[in-house]
Amino acid sequence: TNVSPPGHDLVREFTDAFRAAGLKVGLYYSLLDWQHPDAYPLDLPGYPKSNRSRDHARYVDYLHGHLRELMTRYGRIDVFFINAGIEGEVKSIPDASLATFDRVMAVNVRGSFLVSKYALPLLRKQGGAIVHLSSGVATTGTRNRAAYTASKGAVLALTKSLAVQFGRDHVRVNAICPG
């Protein structure tokens, strides 16, 4: 849940903190990717609606190519800050749609999984960190946002699993849970 006041740039705070620590910062604005013809349909204002079939494997290859470019053309990358998140419907579970649940899980959990998957080979060679943006609701819950809460809980569990598995490779994996 975004509790930042309107007009407040949360990413700027992280960017400034990383730079103050002497780290290079690169931003990869993945929402642009959701306009790829094979991306998972978001049904957000301003995005075209389509009933045509999508080739998710082709979209994953496209995403992998973007990450490969970021990891090979711009020098050392110390931190991957992964903020994959849409909220979905604000409804009680009996009134919520399965399609929205699936969409929220696909964007929030699958997005975090895929970027982590493709960042880890590089980070295992050189060391570094992955930071997932989860949410305070991952540990407390909230009303009428079951899909979002479940997705951010899954991101938190993914973070813990990766931290245990890849810590010995000098890859730190943490989550920030605002709210």
Q: Give catalytic residues, as residue numbers.
A: 148
Residue 112's CB: how many other CB atoms inside 10 A?
Answer: 27
H-type helices in 74-177, by residue range?
98-105, 111-126, 137-140, 146-166
Contacts of 88 (CB under 8 A, 6+ apart): 96, 100, 101, 103, 104, 145, 147, 148
Among 150, 42, 141, CA closest to 86: 42
Question: Tell me, what amino acid is at 21?
Answer: A
Nearest Cα to Cα of residue 126 among 84, 166, 83, 156? 166
